[in-house]
Amino acid sequence: MRPSTTARWADFVAAEPELAATVEARFDAYTHHTLATLRSDGSPRTSGMEVRFWDGEMWFGMMPDSAKALDLRRDPRFAFQANTGEGTAMGGGDVRISGRAVEVEDPVTKGGYVKEVEPPEPFHLFRAELTEVVRTRVDEQCLVIQIWRPGAPLRTVRRN
């Protein structure tokens, strides 16, 4: 059986609750994070972005027809890096999430998101389908990299 290529946030939480809690805490620690999308010529675009975890999903909204929204409509692949905070301590480690953005236009879902988040309207709403979650941290002078992909066990790599 082939592993799934994408997963919803709730699937990740069910598979790896401890890592998911750490990842969510890293994103909740700061408001703004870095979103990478692909421009029409294939080059990367990075943008500041907010992330919300709500109703078992990872969500991000953006202004109508913003460059990043148009990028995701054309090519849904994305990568998020959690804000690492001030200085070099990176409390909790460096956290990155890759996946595919699914635009949500259902008025009931968008209405629930509006009640929860109160974003400026109108807006594009995207739900994340995860393809990879990576946490990198230093532990006892050793670099520890945790890699999760849908349908595969958590892999931990240690480098001295």
Is residue 153 scored above 60 in pLDDT? yes
Q: Quote the pTM value.
A: 0.91
pLDDT recorded at residue 24:
95
pLDDT for 60 equals 95
User: pLDDT exceeding 90 applies to what percent of the chain?
Assistant: 81
For residue 102, CA distances in Å to 4, 32, 77 come to 17, 21, 10
What's residue 89's pLDDT? 65
How confident is the model over 96-109, as a mean pLDDT?
96
Contact criterion met (CB below 8 Å) for 51 and 80: yes
**Banded pLDDT at 90 (limits 50, 70, 90):** low
The pLDDT value given to residue 141? 82
Confidence band of 2 (pLDDT split at 50, 70, 90): very low
3-class secondary structure per residue, 47-67: EEECCEEECCEEEEEECCCCH
pLDDT over threshold 70, residue 85: yes
Q: What share of the chain is helix, strand, coil (3-state, %, to 5)?
A: 25, 40, 35
Q: Which residue has the higher pLDDT, 117 or 92?
A: 117
pLDDT tens per residue across span 117-148? 889 899 999 999 999 999 999 888 899 999 99
Arithmetic mean of pLDDT over the chain: 92
